[in-house]
Structure 1
Amino acid sequence: MIAAAAELIAASPGEDFSLRAVCDAVGVKMPTLYHFFGSKQGLVDAVVERGFDLYLGEKSAMESSGDPVQDIRAGWDAHVAFGLAHPGFYTLMYGTVQPGHSPAAQARPSEILRGLTARAAEQHRLVVPSEQAAAHILVTNIGVTLRQIVLAAPDPELSAAVREGAIAAITGTGTGPVTERNAAVAATIELAAANPSVLGPTQTQLLVEWLTALNDARRTS
């Protein structure tokens, strides 16, 4: 039943679906559906759970770069790619809003993101609290993905621009008084992290660690 509902949703992203159609697709009666899921919302929650399983399965196949900010970049791109490839799942996962309700499955990818921002904070790479940084990245990532789904057209330039703007905001590599302190070091670190192929992954990670250590020593001296 979950698979049938997922197929119906994927065929018409953003549209409502009929429980009767789901039952007909799998050859069961309505009481059977209610026995297993309790309600239409129960079935929707199960489909959402399936969507997050698929999403996290794809993310788990990604290799970590060893740099938390670069991994945030890669995670952003993977998030957008999943939404464009699975708009039916995505609109249920992130586009269907109920005040005061958040699907439990949303906590799993959010926890991964909070882990990355916590690591970045430990390296003194953030100018905002790590929880705020994670929220900043998540809401902008969702917004960019939903816009592309609504327009039914990928916009990689927009996604990259918003991604870099969000990263600049949390790392202090943008403009404004809050970013003046350590701006040069932060900008160098993020430039290296955004272009790991220039120096190579190992050398890039070493550069980030050295610059972080030197900046810490200067701040405490």
Structure 2
Amino acid sequence: MTEHEGSGTRERLISAAAELIAASPGEDFSLRAVCDAVGVKMPTLYHFFGSKQGLIDAVVEHGFDVYLGQKESMGSSGDPIQDIRSGWDAHVAFGLENPGFYTLMYGKVRPGHSPEAQSRPSEILRGLTARAAEQGRLAVPSDQAAAHVLVANIGVTLRHIVLAQPDPELSAAVREGVIAAITGTARDSTDPVAATIEIVAAAPDVLGEAESALLLSWLTRLRGERRDDSGSR
């Protein structure tokens, strides 16, 4: 078997396993069924993956490739908080569309084990919260903000999968609650400047992108000066 043929066989085994998982979300799958679908013997599968868990890890990696490919096609709004909102909604939608992949990616827990591929979307989220922190828009450290968003997003998505139907009102309510918590802009917030920043950032088309960017710059500077003044008292 040449290196090219070996690579092709490995990818076909991953695809076959992915199709079986997608067809029966949450259920176990047979290694023999995977081999039969590709037309190879069991030793070939073990040669590439070493074990069933090795194959599962490869399928998880494939799931994250699909997920991140969809996220990259979305692009950026230019506003990190709005991108967190969009990323949240895309995360939930991916879970509903791919429950088999998703339950492997986030629902199968082994103590002390975290698939390496999980770090890739987490890094994207931490990048967004770091940008929000640089703009003075977080009430908690950026890593903590990213963790809050991720665990809540996973919890909502798994609930949707368990119920086997979307619940956009629940998702939006939890999303906005988390964003209010990490930005300090809850409905009863005593910081009107912070609340105004989030309103402008969430709807840049109302004033126009250039005008919104300028207003956000002024508001962020004003919020910083207010904090400095209160801290000096």
TM-score tier (shorter):
over 0.9
Cα distance in structure 2, aligned partners of 1:121 and 1:5? 41
Residue in structure 1 matched with residue 218 of structure 2 by the alignment = 210
- 2:158 is equivalent to residue 146 of structure 1: yes
* Residues 21-55 of structure 1, C-alpha deviations (whole Å, 9 max, x = no match): 11111111111100000000000000000000011
Residue in structure 2 matched with residue 192 of structure 1 by the alignment = 200
Residue in structure 1 matched with residue 31 of structure 2 by the alignment = 19
Paired residues of 1:148 and 1:155 also in contact (CA < 8 A): yes
Cα distance in structure 2, aligned partners of 1:153 and 1:220? 48
- 2:130 is equivalent to residue 118 of structure 1: yes
Paired residues of 1:66 and 1:205 also in contact (CA < 8 A): no
**Structure 1 runs of 4+ off > 6 angstroms?**
none
User: Structure 2 matches for 1:8-47, cutoff 5 A?
Assistant: 8-47=20-59
Segments of structure 1 that go 5 or more residues without pairing to the other structure are none
Aligned length in residues? 217
Q: TM-score, normalised by structure 2?
A: 0.89
Q: TM-score, normalised by structure 1?
A: 0.94
Question: Over aligned residue pairs, what C-alpha RMSD do you find?
Answer: 1.4
Q: Higher Cα Rg: structure 1 or 2?
A: 2
Residue in structure 2 matched with residue 166 of structure 1 by the alignment = 178
Residue 175 of structure 1, CA deviation:
6.3
Cα distance in structure 2, aligned partners of 1:14 and 1:196? 41
Paired residues of 1:71 and 1:116 also in contact (CA < 8 A): yes
Cα distance in structure 1, aligned partners of 2:225 and 2:115? 44
SS at match of 2:179: helix
Paired residues of 1:56 and 1:109 also in contact (CA < 8 A): yes
Match for residue 99 of structure 1 among 94, 98, 111: 111
Identity in percent = 77
Residue 214 of structure 1, CA deviation:
1.5
Cα distance in structure 1, aligned partners of 2:45 and 2:210? 53
Cα distance in structure 2, aligned partners of 1:202 and 1:95? 42
Cα distance in structure 1, aligned partners of 2:83 and 2:91? 12
Cα distance in structure 2, aligned partners of 1:174 and 1:98? 36
Cα distance in structure 1, aligned partners of 2:214 and 2:19? 47
Match for residue 108 of structure 1 among 90, 102, 120: 120
Cα distance in structure 1, aligned partners of 2:58 and 2:41? 18
